Chains A and B, each alone.
Chain A
């Protein structure tokens, strides 16, 4: 019986389990590595970059994107996509901020709940149409992107919410810190942690991965696909709704165009963070890191004096690099796993 032992791939260990772990960790470290690189280079050129103020600003801004990215990750893991998050953030931002204008003295937590509620409602509708109608999510969420933005524009009319309509306590949320770290960042981190824990430690969380990994097998295996996918969209909507309130604390002046195009930035963050666009794998921690990376780059470019016009181009370029790298890793992994089995009949 001849067995040709294949040359083990030089970088990764031959054991497939450790290979996979290695790859996953390499991915996360990869993001952190690029992050570190950017920070180092930028700081070297412009030390102002690492000033406490700037770091706090980056963290506070990231909070919003990380939050929405968590919801988007849940959806993408199931092999779907939610293109409506930008519109949801915009609508929620206006509605919640407008609460201050319409009802003086309204407590801030209530406003947060209102934002959450708006997002929840949007997510419910999207979820029902996708899960019960078995309609491709690309189409549904594209339509919802339009519809929600349209509703937003109708509600807003030509008006807007101006900064001085908002109470200072609300506006300060963006700048509030706890032990030097922005509260928004801490809150987002908490949400990420809870989501990560849920995805890892609960059956329904694992089922989301199963659905994205092989939808037919999931259906055959009796996994309640409709329910799970519905839940993912509701969560995505809810988190986007919360994100809207965060938007309001940051930008203060909100009109009908708020958060236009945000969905693309969120998807970019998610993909850069290692979540496969075809579902089945990836982590919310990765997505949050992806969001952090993109915001850091944006800030770095700003600090370096690069016109903000370039941010978009660079972010797009990074997305392409990220998915190309992922594909390369994927192919190498598959080849390594195959070579392991080269001795036939084992």
Chain B
């Protein structure tokens, strides 16, 4: 067989993907934002947008890898909290900042290791485990500082939330770090054996194992990484807020999962790209910023929007079959349409023919 020549159709087909839709959505959001308020593209607004999304986006990176392998880590916000509160507590006791960094990162890695061992060695489902550690770690976090708050972080750290990255006024440190990490993650996912193995694991863990991929070790590494990143982000977030206190970061894990799913990553594993997640993060942030600039919208209203987006993001891929099923339901009783209800079974069976 000769190497294939690429027809125009073949060139265009790969472009019709989730990521393209997100790119269009991003443009739409930016236009929307600009039309709502001239302040949308102001340095201040963009910076606020960045600080809102940067931490979530950073957490979304390891979450993406984990979801692609078919697992989930709901404990990230709690690890973030443990790290932030440890930072506050140790700073209160005048520990040197460098040492505090090491301790917090070690705590994050340990938290991730616990998750990973329970999931890979004991064989527990990640949903159940991370719901458990979410509660456990959050509880521990709240115990560390109790009801008190620590706010007197030193320069230059306490400026992370107000000054731009290397002086650029509209770019927050968190987003800058995110972009760098995203590029690295993207390259790893597409162009390293490690990244490729994640897709294989997500699509067929057994086949991946039979091909010599160390499934358990890979997943363990991912959970430790997730813990590390969560701990790092915890410190970053505490600096940005200039405070570490009770209930810091609560609910973050759900927002992170939302962003990852909006990014086109399948909850079942095996599909999705870093690019998609990055785009989704900016669409999410941009939309929130744009809507909040309208006078009648507030943070809570955005919750509803974000929930709606999440549902749409999973319905759209299923759209065709969804419509058929809905129609079939409305005309029950006719054999013809019951055949349509079996289309899914047909398709599965066809695979085996």
Contact = CB atoms under 8 A, between A and B. Distances in A.
Direct contact of A and B (CB under 8 A): yes
Interface of A: 81, 129, 132-136, 138-140, 142-147, 149-151, 153-154, 219-220, 226, 256, 264, 267-268, 271, 277-278, 307, 309-317, 319-320, 323-324, 327, 331
26 contacts: A133-B314, A133-B322, A134-B318, A135-B318, A136-B314, A139-B310, A142-B310, A143-B258, A143-B308, A143-B311, A146-B254, A146-B303, A146-B310, A150-B301, A150-B305, A153-B300, A268-B132, A277-B127, A312-B136, A312-B138, A313-B137, A313-B143, A316-B139, A319-B135, A323-B128, A324-B122
B162 to A, nearest CB: 28
A327 B124 contact: yes
Given A138-B127, A144-B307, A319-B128, 15 more contacts: A133-B322, A134-B318, A135-B314, A142-B307, A143-B310, A146-B258, A150-B302, A226-B329, A264-B134, A309-B139, A313-B138, A315-B139, A316-B138, A317-B132, A324-B124
Nearest to B138: A312
B228 to A, nearest CB: 21
B325 interface: yes
B307 A317 contact: no
A147 B135 contact: no
Chain B interface: which size bin? 35 or more
B345 interface: yes
B304 A133 contact: no
B306 interface: yes
Contacts of B138: 312-313, 316
A318 to B, nearest CB: 8
A147 to B, nearest CB: 4
A60 to B, nearest CB: 23
A271 to B, nearest CB: 6
Chain B interface SS verdict (over half): helix
B146 interface: yes
B122 A154 contact: no
Contacts of A153: 300, 303
A275 to B, nearest CB: 11
B129 interface: yes
A320 B127 CA distance: 11
Contacts of B257: 142
B131 A264 contact: yes
B128 A277 contact: yes
Nearest to B305: A150
B268 interface: yes
B179 to A, nearest CB: 27
B40 to A, nearest CB: 23
A314 B140 CA distance: 9
B318 A133 contact: yes
Contacts of B124: 323-324, 327
Chain A interface SS verdict (over half): helix
Interface of B: 72, 118, 122-125, 127-129, 131-140, 142-143, 146, 254, 257-258, 261, 267-268, 300-308, 310-311, 314-315, 318, 321-322, 325-326, 329, 344-345
A314 B123 CA distance: 22
Q: Which 3 A-B pairs have the closest CB atoms?
A: A313-B139, A316-B135, A316-B136
B301 A327 contact: no
Nearest to A308: B142
Contact of A314 (B131, B137, B139, B314): B139
B122 A327 contact: yes
B132 A139 contact: no
B143 A319 contact: no
A149 B285 CA distance: 20
B108 to A, nearest CB: 17
Given A142-B254, A150-B304, A132 B329 contact: yes
A175 to B, nearest CB: 29
Contacts of B310: 139, 142-143, 146
B208 to A, nearest CB: 21
Nearest to A313: B139
Nearest to B348: A216
Contact of A319 (B125, B132, B142, B258): B132
A312 B314 contact: no
A316 B314 contact: no
A310 B140 CA distance: 7
A320 to B, nearest CB: 4
Contact of B118 (A142, A226, A320): A320
A136 B132 CA distance: 21
Nearest to A151: B304
A268 B135 contact: yes
A312 B315 contact: no
A256 B300 CA distance: 10
B307 A132 contact: no
A142 B311 CA distance: 9
A133 B258 CA distance: 18
Contacts of A132: 322, 325-326, 329
Given A278-B125, A324-B124, A313 B307 contact: no
B269 to A, nearest CB: 11
Given A143-B311, A145-B254, A313-B140, A220 B131 contact: no
Nearest to A126: B311
B131 A267 contact: yes
Nearest to B304: A150
A134 B321 contact: yes
A312 B139 contact: yes
A134 B143 contact: no
Contacts of B128: 271, 277, 319, 323
Contacts of B301: 150, 154
